[in-house]
A and B are shown apart, each in its own frame.
Chain A
């Protein structure tokens, strides 16, 4: 019997996460596929203007393709486009978030290891980026998100549609939801309901978060160890994190989250992601810069805003 990885060629679908020029007109690409995780292959002649495959193999394109095994590298054969996420490509704010999500998906995937859930998450999130209101134009879909009892306290009385045109709350919320879902799917979701140190259920009050210990800490355990970073976690941010950890996007997108609470949730998730990945998230800086611009030059939330125990 021949295993799939030893077959001479295989057909798969994938999203292009990375590419690099090679040779006269070739391009090395890295794809995230559902059945084989990361697949790296060379697309010969892809940089020629008359290439039949080059146009399909740009970053963040969802394609169906054949890949043949070679002595040195895998090679891309036929390619058909499935989704180009065109709306994402024509707006810097959406594009920067899509690139950020793609980098996270790559960091949580390995070569030749099936990862269908992360693939589906990325594919759906890129589609959502296209459709999600960015706060700068008329809202395409009325806010119909489910506001659960726990999340009701997050709601502000103001209508989202009347927010300042420089804000982009829903896209930020989508990025946070993606972060928490990819942590969940990869088994790295922090503990938000019980103390990460002693396991006791947490009371409804402000707590602190430790990436090193993997979650929120109760008052008895919150003393920081040597070099440990403790982040503040207020009640609204904790409720938001808990809600997002167990919800699909339709139950999240309608939430009206005050910017400070969203920023606090972001600091917690960003710090935790960096701890889990153990590597800088390269595309975060550009995403923050684009967002800062959109927000009229306001300083974006930074992970460094920490407290000591």
Chain B
């Protein structure tokens, strides 16, 4: 049985050619890629036509060369200010603070939010040595200076570190006279009450709502 650190170096046979071993190691450093997947991807690339491999390599380099963080919301973008921040139809009085750029994509998919975003690029994780100063909190405060923003919706994940970040932001921002709200918590669609944890069930009970009539 092996219970070693999943981030450890993959077990590569000594006879493996050096460029192959190097690529396996490079893939293994990516999030969610285990040693077997790293090997599988590498050997797939070996069989791939050269044009496709070059396209992949160029794509990787172009995100390093051309992608910057939006000067306002800190989301990844090609322009100094991203498309959402430049869109005058968006409500600039509401900012939804999220952990990662992918969270913007998820919320945009709902089409339920027409405000702007702020990407924190992580959450407070004290035991990993990540504090507020490692996040884009200072940049968020800068956006509150001119008094336009009336509400910050904290959309960090509903786990301990997400809650710590949300409570920290609430303490920081509320004294500035800006309303701070948190995404509701409760049972997800398709869930089973039998397996719900007690904290989620308690939140769901507390935030219960009446049936909407006339619809």
What is the interface of chain A, defined by CB distance below 8 A to chain B?
Answer: 5-6, 17-18, 21-24, 26, 28, 39-42, 49-50, 52-53, 55-56, 58-61, 69-74, 81, 84, 86, 89-92, 95-96, 99-100, 102-103, 106, 111-112, 280, 282-283, 285-287, 289-290, 293
Contact = CB atoms under 8 A, between A and B. Distances in A.
Contact of B1 (A21, A69, A96, A100): A69
Interface residues of B, number: 35
Interface string B100-138: 000000000000000000000000101111011000000
Interface in B162-179: 163-164, 167-168, 171
B32 A40 contact: no
Interface of B: 1-3, 6, 31-32, 34-35, 124, 126-129, 131-132, 159-161, 163-164, 167-168, 171, 188-192, 195-200, 202
Contacts of B35: 72
Given A24-B32, A99-B164, A282-B128, 10 more contacts: A42-B6, A50-B188, A55-B200, A73-B3, A92-B168, A100-B126, A282-B127, A283-B127, A289-B131, A290-B168
Contact of A286 (B31, B131, B159, B202): B131
Given A86-B202, A96-B126, A59 B3 contact: no
Given A40-B3, A96-B126, A293 B131 contact: no
Nearest to A111: B3
A130 B199 CA distance: 14
A55 B2 contact: no
Given A40-B3, A50-B191, A99 B171 contact: no
A293 B132 CA distance: 13
Contact of B126 (A53, A69, A283): A283
Contacts, number: 106
A280 B196 CA distance: 37
B31 A22 contact: yes
Interface centre among B35, B124, B159, B163 (most CB of A within 10 A): B159
Contacts of B3: 39-41, 73-74, 111-112
B197 A23 contact: no
B126 A282 contact: yes
A162 B108 CA distance: 50
Contacts of A50: 188, 190-191
Nearest to B170: A92
Contacts of A39: 3
B201 to A, nearest CB: 9
Contact of B127 (A6, A22, A102): A102
B164 A81 contact: no
Contacts of A293: 171
Contacts of B128: 282
Contact of A58 (B159, B190, B191, B195): B159
